[in-house]
Structure 1
Amino acid sequence: LTTVTRRAYIVPQVGIVERLPELRANPVEVDQLLDVPVAELLSPGVFREEQWGNRAQPRPIYFFELEDNTVWGATAALLRQALSLLVGADPGTLADLDPARLEPKGYRIDPRYRNNVV
């Protein structure tokens, strides 16, 4: 997983943990921490894509519409990549998946830890 912006090359860390660690954000880099279950990110109507730019070179911009927040830009692009790899499906079809059956390709997630993918 990577994304490149005009000012940064971003490489997130992803894993499955037994319990969530205490998260401490660097306020210089992070405006807000959101704790969102994967199942919510896969819920119908949460993910959307818009085409920005001009007609000659449109580029996709991704959005996740959550209850109190809109995640977009580089963060949404990374989430889209992660979810696509996790479920082995094109992000445009993620809403068709049953979140209760979510498991990374080739791995089984113990049901006790299903909401602890970070």
Structure 2
Amino acid sequence: MNFDELTRFLEKRVQKAMPGDDAHQKMKPRMLNGAPLNMKHATLARKGGVLILLYEDSGIVRFPLIQRPNYDGIHSGQMALPGGKFEEEDKNQYQTALREANEEIGIKHQEVEIIGSLSEFFVAASNFMVLPVIGKIESIPQFVPEEREVHDIITPPIADLIDPDKLKEKIMTVRNGFELNCPYFDLEGRTVWGATAMMLSEMVEILREFDAK
């Protein structure tokens, strides 16, 4: 994929109706009996933002994903887009995504040009309403992982998201011993599943539009 052509396409595409939940559902984990996995919360969802940061490296358009460290929490060890919860100093979820990317992987927000966003997404496991923000950077980033929040960083080609060989499915055991049938992206040998995969699934639909034009 050509970086300039892709980012110009995205700048126009984000102004139109998005694939939304139809895309999200394609990567949603399910119980082994096929039933959907539903979670209810007694409190209102908190807001958050994550960043899909596009950049070019030797003619390949890439984006960073982080691996969370192992900890006593819902997202322990999982692959994720850099991001986190909305704080009072943030004017909006775009700022949240940029601030968190700076904290987690060392990206300076002044260097990022915002393209737009995907559909807001409800992360049921942690009760967050997350805005996936799309940004671009003209240089190859020098990522600096924040040791307490980031175990590792990978930078797969964005084109891998529409490679059918990268889309897989397996049974996974999650907290409390539940077994789930999980669609996932196999990116650089890492399993990208759950909320991150569901958000990226909307990006997949848009990338397919670009690839078909």
Q: Which amino acid aligns with 2:158?
A: V
| Contact kept in structure 1, 2:184 and 2:191, CA below 8 Å | yes
| Contact kept in structure 1, 2:154 and 2:188, CA below 8 Å | no
3-state SS of 2:203 partner: helix
Question: Greater RCO between the two (CA within 8 Å, min separation 6)?
Answer: 1
Aligned position for 1:38: 158
| Contact kept in structure 1, 2:156 and 2:188, CA below 8 Å | no
- Distance in 2, Cα, partners of 1:47 & 1:30: 24
1:78 paired to 2:199: yes
Which protein has the bigger strand share? 2
Counting only pairs closer than 5 Å after superposition, residues 8-47 of structure 1 correspond to structure 2 as: 8-9=127-128, 10-47=130-167
**CA 1:78–1:30: 2 relative to 1, 3 Å:** farther
Q: Among the aligned pairs, what percent are the same residue?
A: 30
**CA 1:86–1:41: 2 relative to 1, 3 Å:** closer
Q: Which amino acid aligns with 1:32?
A: D
Q: Which structure has the larger Rg? A: 2
- TM-score, L = length of structure 1: 0.51
User: Gapped runs of 5+ residues in structure 1?
Assistant: 53-58, 89-100, 106-118
- Distance in 1, Cα, partners of 2:143 & 2:211: 24
**CA 1:31–1:85: 2 relative to 1, 3 Å:** farther
Aligned position for 1:7: 126
**CA 1:37–1:80: 2 relative to 1, 3 Å:** same
6-15 vs 68-77, greater mean Cα deviation: 6-15
How far residue 29 of structure 1 moved from its aligned partner, in angstroms, is 4.2
- Distance in 1, Cα, partners of 2:139 & 2:152: 21
- Distance in 2, Cα, partners of 1:27 & 1:65: 24
Query: RMSD of aligned C-alpha atoms?
Result: 3.3
| Contact kept in structure 1, 2:167 and 2:185, CA below 8 Å | yes
1:68 paired to 2:195: no
Q: Deviations over 1:80-112 (max 9, x none)?
A: 112213333xxxxxxxxxxxx748x8xxxxxxx
3-state SS of 2:185 partner: strand
